Amino acid sequence: MSVNLRNISGDMYLVSPGASVIDLPADRRFSLIVDLGVHWKTDAAVSNLSLLRQSCPQQAVIFLRIEGIPEDVATLLTEYLAAGVGGIMLSGCTGPAHLQHLETMLRVAEAQAGKPDGSTNIVAELGGSEDAFLPPRPLTSDRLSAIVFNEAAACAGIGTASSAIGSMRASTQLIAAQAGVPCYLLGDGALDGFDGRILRNGLDGNGV
């Protein structure tokens, strides 16, 4: 069964692959977004993820935050799904085509892993690429469970002008509303219009 973020109670943490959650109460509900970034296509990352899954309470949902989707990643995605991944957070999403490409790779990986088609959720992270906003285009997918605005990535790309960042925040919220999914903020800015914040450094004590 696909798990929609709107139905997950508790905190959401963005953590490094080496995070340890073994001391968390077994009855605490939370979601982990494991920040693999551009280094996600490695066997070591798969091994770290397996260890993290083993130390998590069973009810914790694990998402992978990744950058880049080469054509040959279906096999590695299969390994991640087998290791207990429930969803993918697509960092720097550039728009509908980027989302559709990930969907195609997941469809192959699910078949290879023996998972039901469509069982892996996607979180689209906007802010790292202006292409997603020129102009803002609807993101539609049965897998899409949330949209995230990365405030720091947006500032790094276009500067910190409040009008420009404000426009991107509003566009992200509009895209989420059109898709019918919640909208989360990855950053320290005001939560005006967002459904919640993804927390950094929550479990491993290190910057991620």
Average pLDDT, the chain: 80
5-200 under CATH 3.40.50.920, yes or no: no
Structure tokens at 203: 């479990």
Q: Which of 31-40, 47-56, 160-169 has the lowest mean pLDDT?
A: 47-56
Cα(47)–Cα(70) distance, integer angstroms: 21
C-alpha distances out from residue 42 to 56, 194, 198, Å:
22, 34, 25
pLDDT for 26 equals 61
Q: What percent of the chain has a predicted confidence (pLDDT) above 70?
A: 75
Interior CA angle at 127 toward 105 and 83, to 5°?
35
- Identify whether 25 is preceded by a cis peptide bond (ω within 30 of 0): no
Our measurement of the distance from residue 181's CA atom to the centroid of its chain's CA atoms, rounded to an integer in Å, reads 13
Strands annotated E in 52-175: 61-66, 87-90, 121-126, 144-150
pLDDT for 161 equals 65
Nearest to 125 by CA among 44, 7, 18, 37: 37
| Residue with more model confidence, 51 or 110 | 110
The string of pLDDT tens digits covering residues 194-206 is 998 888 755 443 3
The string of pLDDT tens digits covering residues 82-109 is 888 889 999 999 999 999 999 999 999 9
Over range 21-28, report the average pLDDT: 56
Whether the full predicted model's pTM is greater than 0.75, yes or no, is: yes
- Residue ranges of the domains in the chain? 5-200
Neighbours of 157 (CB within 10 A): 15
Q: Is residue 62 within 8 Å of residue 49, measured between CB atoms?
A: yes
Q: Is 53 helix (H, G, I), strand (E, B) or coil?
A: helix
| Residue with more model confidence, 150 or 200 | 150
Q: Amino acid identity, residue 67?
A: E
